Amino acid sequence: MRSRDDTQPWKGGYQPYDLVKEACIAVGVIALLAIVLSILFSSPDDKPSTIAQWSRTLPVNFLTAAATELDGTSGTAGYGPPYNHNSKGVHAVFLYPQKWLGVSHPIDTARDFVLDPLKTVPNDPTLQGAIAQYESAPAATQKAWGEAYAKPLEETAAAEEEEKPLPKTVSLDPATDTVTVQAPGAGPVGTLMTGLLSLAKSGGLDGALLTSDQFFQTDYTKPLLFMADGGLLEKRAEEQHLLGEQWGMMNETGSYPGQAWLWLYSLWYQVEPFKSSENADIWVLLLMSVLSLAFIAIPLLPGIRSIPRKIPIYKLIWREHYRESSPRSSA
Amino acid sequence: MLSTAVVVAMGAIVNLNHPAHTVDWSFIHMSVANVVVIGLMLVVFVLAILLPFPGAARRRGGGGS
Amino acid sequence: MSSAPPKTRPGSWTVRVREAGVAALPPEKLLPDGQPTYVASWIYVFGVASIASLVVIVASGSILALKGPAWWHYTGVGHFFNSIHMWAVELFFFVMVVHLWGKYWMAAWRGGRARVWMTGAVTFLVAVPTALTGYVSQQNFDAQWIATQAKDGLNSVGVGAFFNVTNFGQMYSYHVLLLPMAVIGLVTAHVLLVRRHGVVPPFELEER
């Protein structure tokens, strides 16, 4: 018996079918479901963080991040492309696409996050003098000042993380809300940082970072990268189970369902060798790209395309057809 | 966390605005909401295959092209 | 005075496109009112359910687009439409994946239907960044976190050089126009291919 050619139109039985009515019913049912779910559960809308909030609630953390932006040791400063050339970025063997695609969104953290915003502060000759002193110093001196200022802050951050007693070199006065950093040898950096903290608390830094290039702006890269170098976003994310090691990519704030379809993408980050690799991002994406191409190409893949025949779930799906068309059932 | 007044204003009968509970198994840590969604998908898939589809008599009567 | 229609010219592009279209999909094939009797399972509703979800997504998204991206944060009605949009997206991925599972176990690519499978698979893969651009356009904490995290993955493969998830304006444009157009285009191709090739027939039981 010749097997049927499935490229040809079906020659067996047909039944009446109202395609347009079915589509309308489907739209009605789905719309109703979406409305009922919306009435029952609504949707999340956690307010965004601002640099002003960050600097007010976590001033020491803000200063720690700001110091690293000035001395070029922050995450953004050392990121590499597309922000700067200070690193080659991640790679997979000989593949360096991050480097190859170049610096398309240049950011000089010392200038863009610290010095240029500070220059907008009016009527503060001490601050403007400190800026001039910093800018006219040789690079080696700037580096030494920056490291001297950052040292007590980094020691405090490390002590906090290890839950040890905090060094006395950094203190926060809750009455006046001022931070004092004892950093001998920091030159004008102390004045710059105090000025930046003050600008941040007033909301001026949020504005300065956003509108630095032009009045109308929809690109939030600078304020977002600055905040991401600090601890506030991460703190909120951890509370909401959004961190990478919490499978956060799949999650939504609150107890809402998130992006369940990212399960496989999230999974690789939890297992070796990706878990401890510095280049996890590119390796996981390359792996997912290969798997995605395989997913598209399933009809062409021997073995994978034969599984539905071997595991006959189809016999359940088409059981009525098989029953009706078996020789015993013909009238 | 949002206050009850805000939740009522947003129209939610069930307040989901609190940090998620998680399902933890081996290295898997998934939010309850996502586990529910994935579980429901599997249940719906099985039901879709097993539940009888109406109109069998009509299809028998209409047999033959 | 003759009112007869002009003679058709075979070299006309319009005539060629029309005749190719009608040959591939004559009206009774494009909008049939009958289907094979083997289409008799609830699994078959998940394709149209996917389309229905997409309709609700676009409709609710259009309301949100009409009022601009900030509206839903400060009005109850706006928040409600945002909720409908969010739940419609959850429903869309839910029914689309169940549809995908069904089509896999039916080996629905048989009989010259490989392009049907492939357009469907690409639709799913394009829907993922469509959702991502939506998440980073929310202008709330979730958007801030997702953008600052997703940038690392995208930068690692060089995509971040021209697709900047922290650039709200760019992401909103992709989300509201470019990617929905891509999804709708792919779904249209997918459905027209199904109409062209017909719903895949059952496996023959005699073949082992």
Quick one: average pLDDT of A55-68? Answer: 95
Per-residue model confidence (pLDDT) at position C2: 63
C24 and A CB contact within 8 Å: no
Per-residue model confidence (pLDDT) at position A4: 86
Q: Is residue C55 scored above 90 in pLDDT?
A: yes
- Which residues 21-50 of B have a C-beta within 8 angstroms of A? 21-22, 27-34, 36-38, 49-50
Q: Is residue A1 scored above 60 in pLDDT?
A: no
B chain contacts of residue C101, beta-carbon cutoff 8 Å = 45
Q: Is residue C126 scored above 90 in pLDDT?
A: yes
Q: Which chains are within 8 Å of B by 3+ CB pairs?
A: A, C
Q: What is the pTM of this model?
A: 0.94
Cβ within 8 Å, pair A7-C111: yes
Q: Where along chain A do its domains lie?
A: 19-42+243-324, 51-239
Radius of gyration of chain C (CA): 22
Cβ within 8 Å, pair B12-A260: no
Per-residue model confidence (pLDDT) at position B2: 53
Q: For residue A214, name the pLDDT band (cuts at 50, 70, 90).
A: confident
More confident residue, A192 or C208: A192
Residue type, A119: K
Q: For residue B61, name the pLDDT band (cuts at 50, 70, 90).
A: confident
Mean pLDDT of chain C: 95
Whats the size of chain A, residue-wise?
Answer: 331
Helix and strand numbers (H, E) in chain C are: 9, 1
More confident residue, A205 or B25: A205
Per-residue model confidence (pLDDT) at position A175: 83
Quick one: average pLDDT of C179-198? Answer: 98
Quick one: average pLDDT of A166-190? Answer: 89
- Report angle CA A29, A34, A35 to the nearest 5 degrees: 100
A147-161, A215-229, B2-16, C97-111: lowest mean pLDDT where? B2-16
Q: For residue A328, name the pLDDT band (cuts at 50, 70, 90).
A: low
Per-residue model confidence (pLDDT) at position B56: 86
Q: For residue B64, name the pLDDT band (cuts at 50, 70, 90).
A: very low
Distances (CA, A) of A9 to A20, A85, A281, C106: 22, 60, 47, 18
Number of A:B CB contacts under 8 A?
Answer: 100
Considering chain A, what percentage of its residues have pLDDT values greater than 70? Answer: 98
Stretch (H or E) spanning A171 = strand A170-173
Bond preceding residue A223 cis, omega within 30 of 0:
no
Pairing mode, strands A170-173 and A14-16: unpaired
Per-residue model confidence (pLDDT) at position A331: 46
Per-residue model confidence (pLDDT) at position B11: 63
Tell me the β-bridge partners of B29: B24
**Closest approach of C10 to chain A, Cα-based (Å):** 29
Q: Nearest by CB to C93, which of A19, A261, A298?
A: A261
Strands (E), C11-73: 34-36
Per-residue model confidence (pLDDT) at position B5: 55
Mean pLDDT of chain A: 94
Q: Nearest by CB to B9, which of C37, C76, C94?
A: C76
Cβ within 8 Å, pair C161-A292: no
Cβ within 8 Å, pair B41-C42: no
Q: What is the DSSP string of A228-245?
A: HTSSHHHHHHHHTT-SGG
Per-residue model confidence (pLDDT) at position A235: 96
**Segment A2-11 long-range contacts (CB within 8 Å, at least 24 positions apart):** A3/C204, A3/C206, A3/C207, A4/C201, A4/C204, A5/C111, A6/C110, A6/C111, A6/C112, A6/C200, A6/C201, A7/C111, A7/C112, A7/C197, A8/C111, A9/C198, A10/C36, A10/C198, A10/C201, A11/B65
Tokens of C203: 């496996």
Over residues A257-295, the pLDDT tens digits come to 999 999 999 999 999 999 999 999 999 999 999 999 999
**Closest approach of C102 to chain B, Cα-based (Å):** 8
With CA atoms as reference, report the closest residue to C123 among C82, C85, C93, C78: C93
Quick one: average pLDDT of C58-68? Answer: 98
A108-112, A322-326, C146-150: lowest mean pLDDT where? A322-326
Q: Is residue A329 scored above 70 in pLDDT?
A: no
Q: Which residue of A has its CA nearest to B13?
A: A40
C chain contacts of residue A9, beta-carbon cutoff 8 Å = 198
Quick one: average pLDDT of A19-25? Answer: 97
Per-residue model confidence (pLDDT) at position A212: 75
Quick one: average pLDDT of A143-151? Answer: 93
Q: Is residue A101 scored above 90 in pLDDT?
A: yes
Q: Is residue B7 scored above 60 in pLDDT?
A: no
Per-residue model confidence (pLDDT) at position A52: 97
A29-33, A170-174, A320-324, B3-7: lowest mean pLDDT where? B3-7
Quick one: average pLDDT of B54-65? Answer: 71
Q: Is residue B4 scored above 60 in pLDDT?
A: no
